Amino acid sequence: MEAMNIEIHAHDNDVDVAHKINTMELENWINHLTYVRKELSSLIAFYHAQPLEKKLENEKATQGFEMKQIENDVILNQLQRFKDSRGSIAECQDMQCDMSFIQEHEKCRRMFLYHVDKYRKLKDTFFKDLQGNIGTSNTIS
């Protein structure tokens, strides 16, 4: 993960500070979703390595992971496009231009947080089910 070197200076106005903070936050979201992409690939690979009977038990969760992987890639691409478009922030000449970037950032924030919340719930359910299956198989033996 690459560290951002964005400094906030005393002479920066409120809008400049907001843009700098938003840039750091956006980079963190992209890094987080890049990690989620790798994690989802690992979870899906784990499923495919299971014996057939275990695959059938976990098929719904795995389908959820595969859907999340698609959603994750879509959101990651949207965030990357937004990041790329932010290069023109320096060209903003009025508050309306600055506000459009700030409003778009807020849309991205809501989209990111919603996606991560749903992903965590799916993963929590998967691990609870997996833990239950491990507990069940230990008591049967």
The DSSP 8-state label assigned to residue 91 in this structure reads G
pLDDT attached to residue 4: 56
A 10 A CB-CB count for 73 gives: 14
pLDDT attached to residue 75: 98
pLDDT attached to residue 135: 65
pTM (2 d.p.): 0.82
Ordered by start, the domain boundaries in the chain are: 28-85+94-140
Q: What separation in angstroms does the CA of 85 have from each of 29, 91, 108?
A: 16, 11, 13
pLDDT in tens, the chain (141 residues): 444 567 877 877 777 778 888 999 999 999 999 999 999 999 999 888 877 676 666 677 789 999 999 999 999 999 999 999 998 888 888 999 989 999 999 999 999 999 999 999 999 988 888 787 776 655 444
pLDDT attached to residue 127: 86
Structure tokens at 60: 């719904």
pLDDT attached to residue 1: 43
